[in-house]
Structure 1
Amino acid sequence: MDSLLKRWGLQAYDVRPLTEGTNNTGYYVGDEFVLRIHRNAIAPTYEHAVLRALSGLSFAVPVPVPADGETALRGELNGQTVLASLSRRIPGEHPGRGDTASAEACGRALAELDHALARLDPTELPPPFVWDGDLTNVHPRVPSIDRVIDGVSAEDRDDVARILTGIGPRSDLPRQIIHGDFAMTNVLMAGGRVTAILDFETAGVGFRAMDLAVGRFFFGEVGHPSAAFQRGYLDAFPLTDAELSALRELELMREATSFVHWYGRYVDRQITAENLADRVERLRRVDDWASERR
């Protein structure tokens, strides 16, 4: 760890584990910095470009600290070569589930972020991820949906095939740069206000309404999206009737996209068969809920 931190000129810092997320592991470096070890198959080039381009927000985002002209550096950690990035620590705590005031405040903050993301000039950013329902473009280990269908257990195969083959791009909904993963663990709050939005690793071009679909899902439960979160978002960023009608479909699209990503991680032996089975069950539950409006 010391040799890695020296790349940023940091020495003699106390390092403490922070989190282990889906795509990265975090460490506090003293009380000033957060170090992320990226375990995704794709470097955070686009994520970092978006973070550096954002400005004028009422909350902070984890802008990467450069070293040697780079924002993501390769180094040694526990005998392995890893890809790491550093940002300044932002004060705050994650909101609690069921707190309607916090959910509404987080909805407003996401709406503010989406306004800012819409103002970014795509020509000044690297090529983006595109989250439009094309499930063959989610993970480099999954070039076709057939590989996912063939790879799940026999008892799950028919359901997975039915759900995944029913997902596809739409041409009638507005698109823009979106955050893509607005969960409670990706927000910090203090004194009733949002202090930071974190983890832009899935940022890319997608359906504008996807952020609301994802946020209200994570701030609620399967089948019971957070009305407070939706109210806060729509007060600051009204959507069209077509977008509002598509929210359930978009959440299923996002869940299917996430499932394909998890299958790619399964191929890379980053998760177990039991982890994958749990995601199959969640995919079924989201599909059941989305199907109520079809």
Structure 2
Amino acid sequence: MHPAGLSLLWEDGHPPDSLRTRFGFTDLDDVAAWLSDVLRRHWGITVARCERVVISAHNAIAWLDTSAGPLVVKIGAHAPAFERLAAIADVLAGLEAAGVPVAAPLPSRGGERRIVAHADRPLSVVVQPLVDGELLDPTDVTAVRAAGAELARLHLAASALPAGAIAADPCLPEPDPRRRLANGPSAAGRAPRASARLADLLEGLPDLDSAPQLIHSDYRSTNILMAGPRVAVILDFDEMMVDHRVYDVARAVVNLATRFRTWRPTTPATRESFLAGYRTIAPFTEREEGWLEAFTLWFGLGSVPAGDDPDGWAAAVEHGL
């Protein structure tokens, strides 16, 4: 899935420079030695080999062969997010206990599922088991339907879990959906019918009749690994937040086909399969159905580029994605 050695996930640039400026390590051997010490002291795990490290913004993800089997370790360098990330680690444990396919972080010797260790700066460390699987193929309607059903199960399980520090995130979006969508991107000149439809919906939709809850917030093909027809594991909960579930579903159907370095719209067949799978587990209320359409239009309009549109986002939004 990712090359051996050191690489950038979605950015262009020089990986060693990014490793040094963001995390304080000189090269792959340096970060591997530091991780070996951290895992030995805090988890009692011996590292045999660091196969690869992939950098994504303020995170570095390392694949390790260890005495506890193959592991994935995520290192975070954005200190203001540490408390929130620790809360997310605890939520993952709750989701795993509820039967949701997640890679729950391994507890350290002290019982914490995420610890802060120091290199030349404080870094957040979480250790997770490696789960094998293939990235969701957004053209496989059977797999897409299974992914939709799994998001519904995730929402049902997450609705019973405490949000803790996640709910206190200062970067949470505008809580009133109507104001949020009215003030968001319009792309009116590129997709006029979709923009007009969104305006009509915001004028006539009654208020949502469901409560905000914990949601994934980045549910797309790169964060869903499949084992044949079933979801093997759901990855990357770092964007988890408290919001309405229709926000999460709409974002998923718009972004499901996007990848690390490509950003293509979801086809109508993929969207319908995903929603059919979701509705078999957790049907929407009539009001939620209306807001699902509004959020889907809003996310789609926000994906229309200002300049060239080689992937056809404007046309996709105009024709219902």
Short-chain TM bin: 0.5 to 0.7
Write the mapping of 1:11-160 to structure 2, written as runs, cut at 5 A: 11-17=46-52, 19-21=54-56, 24-30=59-65, 31-40=69-78, 41-43=80-82, 44-67=85-108, 68-75=110-117, 81-122=122-163, 125-128=164-167, 129=169, 133-134=173-174
Q: Distance in 2 between matches of 1:120 and 1:279?
A: 40
Q: Distance in 2 between matches of 1:279 and 1:13?
A: 48
Going from structure 1 to structure 2, the CA distance change for 1:196 and 1:223 (only over 3 Å counts) comes to closer
Listed as ranges, the gaps of 5+ residues in structure 2 are 1-30, 176-184, 258-264
Give the structure-2-normalised TM-score. Answer: 0.62
Q: Give the aligned partner of residue 232 of structure 1.
A: 277
Going from structure 1 to structure 2, the CA distance change for 1:187 and 1:19 (only over 3 Å counts) comes to farther
Displacement, 1:4? Answer: 2.8
Q: Distance in 1 between matches of 2:241 and 2:307?
A: 25
Q: Distance in 2 between matches of 1:12 and 1:178?
A: 33
Listed as ranges, the gaps of 5+ residues in structure 1 are 136-148, 150-155, 260-276
Write the mapping of 1:181-260 to structure 2, written as runs, cut at 5 A: 181-220=218-257, 221=265, 224=268, 226-251=271-296
Query: Secondary structure at the residue paired with 2:106?
Result: coil
Stretch of structure 1 that moved more, 42-51 or 20-29: 20-29
Match of 1:172 among 208, 214, 218: 208
Displacement, 1:177? Answer: 1.5
Query: Secondary structure at the residue paired with 2:165?
Result: coil
- Give the aligned residue type for 1:246: W
* CA displacement, residues 180-217 of structure 1 (integer Å, 9 cap, x when unaligned): 11011111111211111111112221012122112222
Q: Distance in 1 between matches of 2:283 and 2:171?
A: 21
Aligned residues: 246
Q: Distance in 1 between matches of 2:126 and 2:50?
A: 14
**Does structure 2 conserve the Cα–Cα contact (< 8 Å) formed by 1:183 and 1:215?**
yes
Q: Give the aligned partner of residue 36 of structure 2.
A: 5
Q: Distance in 2 between matches of 1:75 and 1:12?
A: 17
Q: Give the aligned partner of residue 23 of structure 2.
A: none
Displacement, 1:114? Answer: 0.7
**Does structure 1 conserve the Cα–Cα contact (< 8 Å) formed by 2:300 and 2:317?**
no
Stretch of structure 1 that moved more, 105-114 or 38-47: 38-47
Query: Secondary structure at the residue paired with 1:87?
Result: strand
Query: Secondary structure at the residue paired with 1:42?
Result: helix
**Does structure 2 conserve the Cα–Cα contact (< 8 Å) formed by 1:60 and 1:90?**
no
Displacement, 1:222? Answer: 5.5
**Does structure 1 conserve the Cα–Cα contact (< 8 Å) formed by 2:36 and 2:47?**
no
The list of structure 1 runs, each at least 4 consecutive aligned residues, that deviate by more than 6 angstroms after superposition, is: 277-282, 285-293
* CA displacement, residues 53-109 of structure 1 (integer Å, 9 cap, x when unaligned): 2245445312122334433333456x6653221111122121113111110010011
**Does structure 2 conserve the Cα–Cα contact (< 8 Å) formed by 1:3 and 1:76?**
no
**Does structure 2 conserve the Cα–Cα contact (< 8 Å) formed by 1:60 and 1:195?**
yes
RMSD: 4.0
Displacement, 1:292? Answer: 7.9
Q: Distance in 2 between matches of 1:74 and 1:230?
A: 39
Going from structure 1 to structure 2, the CA distance change for 1:288 and 1:80 (only over 3 Å counts) comes to farther
**Does structure 1 conserve the Cα–Cα contact (< 8 Å) formed by 2:213 and 2:242?**
yes
Q: Distance in 2 between matches of 1:86 and 1:230?
A: 33
